[in-house]
Amino acid sequence: MTLKEISGAKKNRPVLTIVMDGVGIAPANEANAVSLARTPNLDRIMKEYPVVELKAHGTAVGLPSDDDMGNSEVGHNALGSGQVFAQGAKLVSQSIESEKIFNSAVWAELTAAPKADATLHFIGLFSDGNVHSHIDHLKAMIDRAKADGVRRVRLHILLDGRDVGETSALDYVNPFEAYLDSIRSADFDVMIASGGGRMTITMDRYEANWAMVELGWKTHVLGEGRTFASAKEAIETFRAETGVIDQDLPPFVIAKDGVPVGTVEDGDSVVFFNFRGDRAIEISKTFEAGADFDKFDRVRVPSVVYAGMLEYDGDLHIPTKYLVSPPEITNTMGEYLTSAGISQYAISETQKYGHVTYFWNGNKSGKFSEELETYVEVPSDIVPFEQRPWMKCAEITDLLIEALESGKYECLRVNFPNGDMVGHTGSLEATVCSMEALDLQLGRILKALDKVGGVAVITADHGNADEMAETDKKTGAPKRNKDGSLKAKTSHTLNRVPCIIYDNVSRDTYDVCEDNGQFGLSAVAATVVNLLGYEKPEMWDDGVIKLK
């Protein structure tokens, strides 16, 4: 495995990939935080340098259909591998359709004890956002569990409001309760047992806030917390009391006669039904860790059969049991660059650090070369993102500029999480601020690049900040609430993202391809290695430039 140098094309200059996470291209309007923000640096380079629009959702990133929004995980897989692989949602759907998932040894083990006196628990994100999970996958497993003779099922639902409408929880809970009523019988006891907002409990990532996982453990496993007669009652009560959107709702426990209906006990089985890995790893560690677990006091650790929908970390093998094999992503850019002896630098803050390392490298933990690669994580603040929308972009830029000026690295990459993480809050004002903060740092980076004679590929992994309100499909106009305010949107978008080639040193050595809508995020890898002076590997998709 090696890169072939293009005769006379190799340049002794750094090539930097900048991922403006969540910054898509959309018409300027009152809900587009990207166009509303004062971004003189981004505006200038969009006008003065070549720009190709990249597809960042649906089949272009390995998802089942073009109705599926992209996400940071699959986006960075495509960016870092130069290829498109069938991703989690598609793999799970195919496995359910073929019944391969139900014919597996893991499914047999999960459903063995619950055919008698034990309980089968499902924990996961409760929506059809298709970014971390899909409610249809949950239904299929419940139906099959009943058919296989499981007698008792309990559901622990993490409310979304992030990949779907910010206050849409009851649009999922109410029909789901009707569905449960239709399948419940004398010999099949099924009900919702606990829940809470996805940004409050359970679904932490990159060990940014283990307190979320602790709260989820207490809620789902121990049955500790405020009790309600139903999920509907909990959601309506918390909304009235707190005014927060679904993703931030407090945890709740469903109880009957004062007793929680679904604690996790010895002999039970537990399925974490998210297919995306980043927010599933910590809760999986908590279930599977031994006595040396030191993140928080678990109080009691029931002996259960635990499985994830997928293997969330292929190197660390987390969890040990899983229902669907994840995509095997091979021949990534990191592998090829290290084989060619090219030094690399990757940096972001905690919230997206795993995206420029783990996901970029094809869901691989660790480095390909300790000697050639430097990975830097800037610790994220544990505060609501709308309260500090600039996040750590200045600190990231400080270190990135040091790396550029050191002359040690030929290929660098950085992720700025602002547009995505702040965009998910639904706060238009804060997201505008986040874009302006990012633009200030972009200006600093471009000056540093010019100083060292470097070039940059400036892109994004998907849209988000570009569409901060629900959109009327007929008119394209932002939707409004009854009081006239914009109907906030917290999910990703289906919009394309920019791929800007910032090059003041070698622009005359290549042509930028005509933009016919044919390129996706996977084009970035070939573009980067071409700028470095190498041919792309045969299995990669074409880049957006052709060397002369």
- pLDDT value, residue 208: 87
H or E segment to which residue 415 belongs = strand 411-416
CA 289/CA 439 separation, integer angstroms: 43
**Rounded Cα gap, residues 441 and 391, in angstroms:** 12
Predicted local confidence at residue 521, as pLDDT: 98
Could you tell me which of 464, 537, 543 has the C-alpha nearest to residue 56?
Answer: 464
Each residue's pLDDT tens digit, 342-390: 999 999 999 999 999 999 999 888 999 999 999 999 999 999 999 999 9
Question: Residues 6 or more apart from 258 whose CB is under 8 A from it?
Answer: 227
Give the mean pLDDT per block of 10 residues along the chain (548 residues). 74 92 96 98 98 95 84 93 91 94 97 92 96 96 97 98 93 98 97 98 91 98 98 98 96 97 98 92 96 96 97 80 90 96 97 95 93 98 95 98 97 97 95 98 98 97 95 85 89 94 93 94 97 94 92
pLDDT of residue 9: 61
Q: How far apart are the first and last CA of the chain?
A: 25
ω into residue 40 within 30 of 0, thus cis?
Answer: no
524 DSSP assignment: H
User: In angstroms, rounded to a whole number, what is the distance separating the alpha carbons of residues 437 and 433?
Assistant: 6
The answer to whether the beta carbons of residues 112 and 150 sit under 8 Å apart is: no
Amino acid, single-letter form, for residue 246: D
pLDDT of residue 300: 97
User: How far is residue 119 CA from its own chain's centroid?
Assistant: 30
Q: Does domain 15-86+328-547 have CATH number 3.90.1150.10?
A: no
Q: Mapping DSSP to helix (H, G, I), strand (E, B) and coil, where does residue 287 land?
A: helix
Whether 62 contacts 94, CB under 8 Å:
no
Find the Cα–Cα–Cα–Cα dihedral 408, 409, 410, 412, rounded to 10°.
Answer: -160
Q: Which of 35, 72, 168, 522 is catalytic?
A: 72
Q: In what order do the strands lie in the sheet with 51-54?
A: 51-54, 497-502, 455-459, 15-20, 411-416, 344-349, 373-378
Q: What global pTM score does this model have?
A: 0.77
Position 8 scores a pLDDT of 63
Which residues lie closer than 8 Å to 135 by C-beta, 6 or more apart? 126, 127, 128, 172, 176
- Which candidate, 27, 46, 45, places its Cα nearest to that of 36? 27
Spell out the domain ranges in the chain.
15-86+328-547, 89-324
Residues 24 and 496 sit within 8 Å (Cβ to Cβ):
yes
Pairing of strands 152-159, 189-197: parallel
Tokens 């006196």 correspond to what residue?
Answer: 117
Q: Is 377 helix (H, G, I), strand (E, B) or coil?
A: strand
Q: Domain 89-324 classified CATH 3.40.800.10?
A: no
The DSSP code for 536 is: P
pLDDT tens for each residue of 516-548: 999 999 999 999 999 999 999 999 999 999 988
Q: What is the C-alpha to C-alpha distance for residues 154 and 190, in angstroms, rounded to an integer?
A: 6
Q: Is 95 one of the annotated active-site residues of the chain?
A: no
